[in-house]
Chains A and B, each alone.
Chain A
Amino acid sequence: DTGVSQDPRHKITKRGQNVTFRCDPISEHNRLYWYRQTLGQGPEFLTYFQNEAQLEKSRLLSDRFSAERPKGSFSTLEIQRTEQGDSAMYLCASSQDRTYGYTFGSGTRLTVV
């Protein structure tokens, strides 16, 4: 499969715990995006990488959230001290350039209990 891979598919964690998600983009894509989707809403932009540089961050990305893309390949999204409001589907997407359109992964569903 040459699509965007996300791991894990599901994560249940207790409030206050830290979680980390991984995204492996399509190998030739230099742009990588993280989105969050809650029930009844469209995906909401969190952050954007071009190669290893994090170029844009949404105000939704509080200081409990951090994302990295070392070496411009896979990316991780970490949430520290999780809260129930963090429960959502976290989506990763990659693209080759602006005109190509995103390819989305299947997402990681986070449930904070």
Chain B
Amino acid sequence: AQSVSQHNHHVILSEAASLELGCNYSYGGTVNLFWYVQYPGQHLQLLLKYFSGDPLVKGIKGFEAEFIKSKFSFNLRKPSVQWSDTAEYFCAVNAPQAGTALIFGKGTTLSVSS
């Protein structure tokens, strides 16, 4: 079945550590890729998105993601995390040939200690 996989369920880091969260998808053809963040008690917010062009996408709050088509991956990175980055992170994929909906991964909980 077509799916979105986030390999890390829970990541624990100290402040200033570097972050990389993995996301792989199994859809062929053209895909649109997203990372969403959900801070404690808040609604889902868009961090960044990729539709075409430069495979290295920069988002808000210093986050970036790299689309590697050959690996079906869209990993999220941040060079130096802050305590305020503690949140749940969701990767999502839209494959236009499969419909309009965003298909989400199960999410990765990031805990940053100060």
Contact = CB atoms under 8 A, between A and B. Distances in A.
Interface of A: 3-4, 31, 33, 40-45, 48, 55-56, 58, 91, 93, 98-99, 101-107
A98 to B, nearest CB: 7
Given A48-B100, A56-B99, A104-B44, 12 more contacts: A31-B100, A33-B101, A41-B107, A42-B104, A43-B104, A45-B103, A55-B100, A56-B101, A91-B43, A98-B100, A99-B32, A104-B45
Contacts of B103: 45
A-B pairs, top 10 by smallest CB distance, nearest first, are A42-B104, A45-B101, A104-B44, A106-B43, A101-B46, A104-B43, A43-B104, A42-B106, A42-B90, A42-B107
Contact of B51 (A91, A99, A102, A104): A99
Contact of B44 (A48, A55, A56, A91): A91
A27 to B, nearest CB: 18
B102 interface: yes
A105 B90 CA distance: 16
Most chain-A CB neighbours within 10 Å: which of B32, B43, B46? B43
B64 to A, nearest CB: 16
